[in-house]
Amino acid sequence: MTNPLTPEVLADPVALTRTLVDIESVSLNEKQIADWVEEVLRAVPHLTVDRHSNTVMARTDLGRSSRVVLAGHLDTVPLNNNFPSSLRGDLLYGCGTSDMKSGVAYALNLAVTLPDPRYDVTYLFYEAEEIESRYNGLTLVAATHPDWLTADFAVLLEPTYGIVEAGCQGTMRTIVSTTGVRAHSARSWHGVNAIHAAGEVLDRLRAYRARSVTIDGCTYREGMNAVRITGGVAGNVIPDRCEVEINYRFAPDRTGAEAEAHLREVFDGFDVLVTDRVEGAPPGLAAAPAKEFLAAVGRPPIGKLGWTDVARFAALGIPALNFGPGDPNLAHHPDEHVEIDKIREGAVTLHRWLGTP
Active centre residues (catalytic): 75, 129
Closest by CA to 77, choosing from 96, 93, 94, is 96
Find, among 109, 26, 117, the residue nearest to 74 by Cα. Answer: 26
- Residue 128 backbone zone (phi > 0: left; psi -120 to 50: alpha; other: beta): left
Is the N-terminal amide bond of 100 cis, ω within 30° of 0?
yes
Q: Render the burial of 139-159: b for 16+ CB within 10 Å, e for the rest.
A: bbbbeeeeebbebbbbbbbbb
Compute the distance between CA of residue 59 and CA of residue 183 in angstroms, rounded to an integer. Answer: 66
Name residues whose C-beta falls within 8 Å of residue 322's C-beta, 6 or more positions apart in sequence: 155, 156, 157, 158, 160, 164, 165, 166, 168, 304, 308, 310
| Rounded Cα–Cα distance for residues 77 and 79 (Å) | 7
Kind of pairing, strands 302-303 and 165-166? parallel
Determine the straight-line distance between the first and last CA of the chain, rounded to whole angstroms.
40
Residue 350 to residue 296: CA distance in whole angstroms: 8
Q: Please state, in angstroms and rounded to a whole number, the distance separating the CA atoms of residues 350 and 61.
A: 19
